[in-house]
């Protein structure tokens, strides 16, 4: 019987790194990531988990299963279209292609005809103005919160921002818009009550210390019952009378009215009602990349663009490229999911259910991302045992279903039909794992 320690047969790091199979699997990965995979496999061999002769195979398998990013693709089977935890809006094909092109050197601030420096993001700006003709000018920054901070800081400074108490919105992860604005030195002047604010409340608050009037759409909640709010056109008249700017945060980035979302305000409506600047997010109902959109009167937008903070929150070339392509590249995944035909969703759900031996049930989707709270999107889902949810999340591809009322619900609204076969395989594998 041999007494040789099997750990002596563990291949050295340099030999593993030199193996052609490892070199092929490591293409596109940095040295640190590759060495970490080698050391991990060697450690498994030292612990007796794998044989010394299996180290190279373990390294190849580990490298092949990972990329340079730790993010994993997920099939969104929740029925929530703008899912914040899944990165909000999935990009259109045109936007993805634009990202690839912009990853190299591009003329983001260069006029190729003259060889001179040009305005940054001119293409995205022009695309926004084409999509929303009510705006005289546009500016793109990093996200919606940055747009709000820039607008209130540039227009109000350390003076007062007059805002209704009923519009004190808390967004994701506990961040409050009021805290964001106050962090830059602006002072908030609260008017009205949680449920009712009148024109006289605003008028009584305006004075020499007023920097701007701010109206925020409470996009992620609803107040119903004994309520009152001041229409934008009335606020416009009041702002004109006192010579102060009117800023409107519509939140979800709906460019024009959508009958599917009757109570969701659009940028076009806010601009037509007289807002000096309208703020929205690019990665919600617009269906584009994370961005903060500022559209409005030319004088106001130019003032924001020249303010020093604008440099700190300016959008990068990838955002600008993806945004422009989103606006000019046809229907977006968000748009298709919002307006998905319920009958087609039923057909797809029943097809999946028949293959895996489950039941298709009616299921309302949601807009998500703080948009159109409470508005149902009629559709269908496949009802599975609740225990299938974990297996779906941990499978390949990862599938995120909705767990509700003791069941795992797989909603196909946000899943492209081209992925139906992959979803079917994932569901089948998850159910087999439960047996």
Q: What is the CATH number of the domain that holds 196?
A: 3.40.640.10
Residue 242 has pLDDT above 80, yes or no: yes
pLDDT tens digits, residue range 342-395? 999 999 999 999 999 999 999 999 999 888 888 999 999 999 999 999 999 999
Chain centroid, CA 403 distance in Å: 22
Query: In terms of domains, do 307 and 346 share one?
Result: no
Helix (H, G, I), strand (E, B) or coil at 345: helix
Lowest mean pLDDT among 32-36, 56-60, 62-66, 266-270: 62-66
State how far the alpha carbon of 294 is from the alpha carbons of 285, 303, 364, in Å: 15, 12, 33
pLDDT tens digits, residue range 91-113? 999 999 999 999 999 999 999 99
Asked whether residue 408 is assigned to any structural domain, the reply reads yes
State how far the alpha carbon of 62 is from the alpha carbons of 7, 37, 49, 187, 235, in Å: 21, 7, 15, 54, 60
Asked whether residue 69 is assigned to any structural domain, the reply reads no
pLDDT tens digits, residue range 161-209? 999 998 887 776 667 777 877 887 888 899 999 889 999 999 999 999 9
Query: In terms of domains, do 350 and 279 share one?
Result: no
Asked whether residue 124 is assigned to any structural domain, the reply reads yes
Query: In terms of domains, do 210 and 288 share one?
Result: yes
pTM of this prediction?
0.87
Query: In terms of domains, do 78 and 52 share one?
Result: no
User: Among 330, 355, 378, which residue terminates a domain?
Assistant: 330
Q: What is the CATH number of the domain that holds 406?
A: 3.90.1150.110
Asked whether residue 413 is assigned to any structural domain, the reply reads yes
> For 266, which DSSP code?
-
Query: In terms of domains, do 104 and 183 share one?
Result: yes
Domain count within the chain: 3
Query: In terms of domains, do 81 and 121 share one?
Result: no
Domain of 40, in residue numbers: 6-64
pLDDT the model gives residue 55: 92
Classify residue 435 by burial, with Cβ atoms within 10 Å: 0-12, 13-18, 19+.
exposed
Asked whether residue 1 is assigned to any structural domain, the reply reads no
Beta bridge partners of 354: none
């Amino acid at each position: 019987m041999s007494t040789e320690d099997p750990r002596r047969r563990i291949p050295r790091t340099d030999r593993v790194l030199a193996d052609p199979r490892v070199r092929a699997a490591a293409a596109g990965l940095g040295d640190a990531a590759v060495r970490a995979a080698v050391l991990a496999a060697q450690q498994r061999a030292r612990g007796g988990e794998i044989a010394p002769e299996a180290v190279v195979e373990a390294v190849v398998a580990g490298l092949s299963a990972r990329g340079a990013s730790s993010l994993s693709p997920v099939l969104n089977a929740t029925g929530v279209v703008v899912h914040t935890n899944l990165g909000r809006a999935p990009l259109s094909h045109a936007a993805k292609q634009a990202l690839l092109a912009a990853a190299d050197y591009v003329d983001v601030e260069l006029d190729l005809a003259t060889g001179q420096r040009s305005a940054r993001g001119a293409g995205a700006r022009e695309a926004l103005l084409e999509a929303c003709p009510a705006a005289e000018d546009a500016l793109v920054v990093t996200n919606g919160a940055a747009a709000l901070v820039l607008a209130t800081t540039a227009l109000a400074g350390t003076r007062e921002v007059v805002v209704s108490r009923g519009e004190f919105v808390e967004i994701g992860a506990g961040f409050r818009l009021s805290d964001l604005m106050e962090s830059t030195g602006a002072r908030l002047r609260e008017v009205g009550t949680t449920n009712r604010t009148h024109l006289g409340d605003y008028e009584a608050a305006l004075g020499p210390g007023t920097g701007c009037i701010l109206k925020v759409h409470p996009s992620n909640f609803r107040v119903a019952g004994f309520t009152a709010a001041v229409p934008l056109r009335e606020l416009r008249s009041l702002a004109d009378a006192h010579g102060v700017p009117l800023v409107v945060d519509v939140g979800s980035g709906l460019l024009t009215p959508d009958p599917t979302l009757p109570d969701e305000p659009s940028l076009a409506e806010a601009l037509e009602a007289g807002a000096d600047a309208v703020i929205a997010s690019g990665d919600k109902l617009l269906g584009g990349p994370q961005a903060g959109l500022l559209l409005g009167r030319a004088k106001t937008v130019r003032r924001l663009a020249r303010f020093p903070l604008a440099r700190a929150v300016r959008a990068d070339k990838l955002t600008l490229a993806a945004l422009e392509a989103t606006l000019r590249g046809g229907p977006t995944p968000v748009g298709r999911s919002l307006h998905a035909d319920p009958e087609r969703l039923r057909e797809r759900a029943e097809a999946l259910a028949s293959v895996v031996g489950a039941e298709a049930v009616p299921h309302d989707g949601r807009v998500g991302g703080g948009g159109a709270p409470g508005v149902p999107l009629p559709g269908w889902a496949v009802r599975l045992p609740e225990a299938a949810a974990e297996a779906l999340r941990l499978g390949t591809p990862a599938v995120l279903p909705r767990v509700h009322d003791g069941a795992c619900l797989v909603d196909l609204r946000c899943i492209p039909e081209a992925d139906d076969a992959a979803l079917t395989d994932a569901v089948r594998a998850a159910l087999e794992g439960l047996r």
